[in-house]
Amino acid sequence: MKNSLKERLLIYFSISMIIIVFPMGFVLINSLNLQEIADRRFEDEQFLQELQTQLIDIQIPLKSYLTSYSSSSLAKLLFIIETLNESIPSDRPVTSSNSDLIKREIYFLMDSYLVQLNQIIEQKRGRKVQQYINSYEKLINLYEYISNRIDDVSLFGFRVQLEEYRSFLELFRRIQIYGLLQILLATAFAFSVLMQTVNSIANPMYQLSLLAGKLSGGSFDIPDVHFNSVNEVNQVAEAFNDMKHNIHHNIEELKKQKEMEQQIMTEKVRNLKMEQLLKKMELYTMQAQMNPHFLFNTINTGVQLAIVEEADRTAGYMENLAALFRYNIREKQFFVSLRHELEGLKSYYNILKIRFPKTLNLLLDVENELLDSFNCPAMVIQPLVENSVLHAFKQKEGIGTIIVSVSYKDSVLLISVSDDGIGIPEETIKELLTPHTHDYKLSSRVMGLENVIQRCYFFYPGQKDVIDIKSDLDQGTEILIKIHTEVQPCIKL
Amino acid sequence: MKLHYAFFLPAEDHSFFSKLRDGAVDAAGSMDCAITFHPIDSDPLSFEMARYSGFDGFGLYLYEKNKNKLQYLSEILKEGIPVVQIENEVIQGSGSFFIGTNNFDVGKGIGKLALDTGIDTLNMTLVYSKKNPGVMSDRNLVEMGIKSVMGNKLSGLKTEETSLNSLDAGMLAYDLLKNDPSIDIIVLTDPNDTLVTVQAMIDMNLVGMVQIIGFGEHETIKAYIEKGVILGSIVRNPYRIGYSTVMALKEISLNGYTSAYVDTGITILSRQNP
């Protein structure tokens, strides 16, 4: 069966119509048949009555002719005889119908009647009085008999007709009852089919509305719906499934985009933090620098003055100081070669040797082949030495020793600055080794050591051991910078 | 061409004529011809006009030699229309044929049954009936048949007659049994009369005192024979008579001739031949 709603309704409508139209058609056909039978019966009856009327019509002119020789009566008589001869059918089949057999009998009787009538006319013409009197008597008997037979066939026909009428009435009654039953059945059938069709549409629609409600609530894990309904509803269900999948897919895409945007935002924030840190570093660096140009020019003036006054030692001191400042001023890169870094340190050593010729012992232990092989963050060693000079030997008598060593082992460039000073308290070490967060507020009191430590953390964020402080009170302090040469610093400038 | 035959029969609706009609109708059905039945007594005009009615043949049960009817029959025969006389041959001639029971054989059958009583000399009362005119019209043949079989053992033969009234045989039986104690055996010629007479005899408690010879093969008659209430019964074959009549008419129509005399025979029912 077709599953389209339109086709289904068309088929059900057609079936219902057939069921209704069939009994109606049957009743109509039988009504027409009944009418036809009645018409035929009435036609036969009418024909026989016409015959009987003509027979009656014969009697008056016959009697008139026999009694008075009336030529007009004879003419009329002959006319009726001719008419009757033409009226009586010559084809008289023998059937099983009693009515037809009686009619056949009447036609033969009519033939005999007309023959005898002609004989009487001839006898009258021949003036055979006794013969035509006897013949007339016989003819009257025959006329009466024919009339009786016509009455018989009429009565018989009427009875048959009555019986047929009763049969038809009974048949019609049955047909009407069956027709009514069929109409009731058709109505029940149509109603049940209608309800079935309505249910096949309404139930899926109700389920779809429930599912749409769930879908609007964000439940995309509901299973696909499949209905065994009409095509239209099934197509709506398929469209609903497609819509659900598409909405789900689009929402997932939106989520992914949002996550990506979130990641981008996070990245941006991180970059911003990094920029802040960089700015901080720059600030640290700037803070760590004095006004180098002014000082450099001033120191150069001092060097020239010392030469004029022939103070060689002062001139050497000032020259080293100038070299140190030059190093600081010129160096704008974050990473420099080890050689470059140590040249700055040597200038600083020379200054310190002039300042503290008898109380400070400065040692430098670096393998020459390392100097051009590796880079290190700029301005890290000199501040550490400066930190030891400033803090390690306070309130300590005797000669202080500061050793700077650089070694390379297992892909690690190890820079060590150690002293035999008073050491650093553990709390201070812990505080110093704490990485600054982006919201760390810079103070004006940024120490050189802190500067170096934070820069190391910045350059190597994944390595917590990039810098370490080992210190024993009154024994000394060693600050270690471990640079994994295989690990790239997070920034290159 | 299909043919139309007319049967002129007594109007009585006794079993004999019913079966005769059944046989004729069945024969007409099997031989593809039409038959109509007409009363021969109550509508004499019908028989008078029969020759004008276009019939192709007649089956005629004319049991009395009525002048008019014989004249009409002669006129029919003059017209060349074939006629089969059933049971009673009232007229003989070209175009007329006979089918039925030979009533002499009926009488012989009655005589044979009467001898079965073992009584040396019998006083017999033979009751004719208008309900079965075929026997009554040939009463001489019947009586001759009885006498030819019984000879001097028949000491007396008295005849009575019942009308078309189906109950008058009862009254006759009462009268005979009360007023004539010399009767040894009563012979009925109609099935209805047989049943009514036997009932009267039972009512008068004379069963066994007077022997009864019945007519017909009604189931009740057969039961009485089996019980010994009735000595026996003469049975004709009306169905065969009706059937043979149509068959003969058809044969005449097709070939122009048939066997002029057909005896459909009788059957004797008794305790020995139920």
User: Which residues is B233 bridged to in the sheet?
Assistant: B214, B269
Place of tokens 């690990």: A487
pLDDT in tens, A183-241: 888 788 888 888 888 888 888 889 888 888 888 888 888 888 888 888 888 888 899 99
Residues of A in contact with B49 (CB under 8 A): 109, 141-142, 145
Angstroms from B127 CA to nearest CA on chain A = 38
Which tokens go with A168? 């038809």
Best probe of the A interface among B2, B4, B68, by most A CBs < 10 A, is B4
Q: How far apart are the first and last CA of chain A?
A: 81
| Residue A403, beta-bridge partner list | A363, A418
**Given an 8 Å threshold on Cβ–Cβ distance, is B53 in contact with A144?**
no
> Are A94 and B3 inside 8 Å of each other by CB?
yes
| Residues linked to residue A436 through DSSP beta bridges, in sequence order | none
Cβ contact, residue pair A104, B54, below 8 Å: yes
> Between chains, do B45 and A144 touch, taking CB under 8 Å as contact?
yes
Do A453 and A465 form a contact (C-beta atoms < 8 A)? Answer: no
> Which residues on A lie below 8 Å from B45 (Cβ)?
141, 144-145, 148
Which residue numbers of B have CB closer than 8 Å to A's CBs? 1-4, 33-34, 36, 45-46, 48-49, 52-55
| pLDDT tens digits, B40-87 | 877 778 888 898 999 999 999 887 778 888 889 999 988 889 999 988
Neighbours of A299 (CB within 10 A): 21
Which chain B residue has the Cα nearest residue A97? Answer: B34
Low-confidence ranges of chain A (pLDDT < 70): 1-2, 277-295, 297, 329-332, 437-447, 491-493
Q: Yes or no: say if A242 and A226 are a contact pair by the CB < 8 Å rule.
A: no
Residue range A232-251, pLDDT digits in tens: 888 888 999 999 899 989 99
Taking a C-beta distance cutoff of 8 angstroms, is the pair B54, A101 a contact? no
Among 3.40.50.2300, 1.10.10.10, 1.20.140.10, 3.40.50.10440, name the CATH number for the domain at B4-101+238-264. 3.40.50.2300
Domain with CATH 3.40.50.2300 in chain B: 4-101+238-264, 103-236
Q: Which CATH number is associated with domain B103-236?
A: 3.40.50.2300
| Residue A283 confidence (pLDDT) | 56
Which two structure tokens, joined as six digits, stand for B264? 């459909």
The predicted structure's pLDDT at residue A414: 94
- Whole-angstrom Cα distance, residue A3 to residue A8? 6
Element (H, E) at B39: strand B34-39
Select from B45, B46, B54 the Cβ nearest to the Cβ of A108.
Answer: B54
For A332-370, the pLDDT digits (tens) are 677 888 998 898 888 888 888 888 888 888 899 998 899
- Retrieve residue A77's tokens: 């008589």
Q: Fill in the amino acid letter for A107.
A: Y
How is chain A split into domains, by residue range? 5-203, 331-484
Rounded to a whole number of angstroms, the distance from the CA of A92 to the nearest CA of chain B is 10
Percent of chain B with pLDDT over 70: 98
Which fold is adopted by the domain A331-484?
Heat Shock Protein 90 (3.30.565)
CB atoms near residue A416 (< 10 Å): 19
Residues of B in contact with A107 (CB under 8 A): 54
Which of A92, A96, A105, A144 has the highest number of chain B CBs within 10 A, making it the mutation to test binding with B?
A105
Judging contacts by C-beta atoms under 8 Å, the chain A residues touching residue B2 are: 93-95
Cα–Cα dist A441/A195, whole Å: 80
Residue A129 corresponds to which tokens in the numbers above? 């009085």
Shortest Cα distance from A163 to chain B (angstroms)? 20
Name residues whose C-beta falls within 8 Å of residue A170's C-beta, 6 or more positions apart in sequence: none
Percent of chain B with pLDDT over 90: 32
Tell me which DSSP letter residue A464 carries.
G
Q: 């009926």: which residue's tokens?
A: B106
For B46, nearest residue in chain A (alpha carbons) = A145
Would you say domain A5-203 falls under CATH 1.20.1070.10? no
Tell me the chain A residues in contact with residue B32 when contact means C-beta distances shorter than 8 Å: none
Q: Are strands B57-60 and B83-86 parallel, antiparallel or unpaired?
A: parallel
Task: Kindly determine whether residue B54 and residue A92, on different chains, have CB atoms separated by under 8 Å.
Answer: yes
Residues B214 and B186 sit within 8 Å (Cβ to Cβ): no
| Nearest Cα residue in chain A from B44 | A145
Residue A94 is nearest to which of B34, B49, B52, comparing CB atoms?
B34
Of B53, B88, B20, B58, which is closest to residue B250 (Cα–Cα)? B58
Strands (DSSP E) found in A284-434: 335-337, 360-366, 375-377, 400-409, 412-419
Comparing CA positions, the residue from A96, A91, A139, A95 lying closest to residue A118 is A139
Alpha-helical regions (H) of A217-230: none
Closest to A383 measured CA to CA, from A258, A467, A312: A467
Q: Do B53 and A105 touch (CB under 8 A)?
A: yes
Question: Which of B164, B174, B180, B89 shows the shortest CA–CA distance to B128?
Answer: B164
A69 touches B: beta carbon within 8 Å: no
Query: What span, in angstroms and rounded, lies between the C-alpha atoms of B6 and A307?
Result: 184
Q: What would the mean pLDDT of B158-187 be, rounded to a whole number?
A: 86
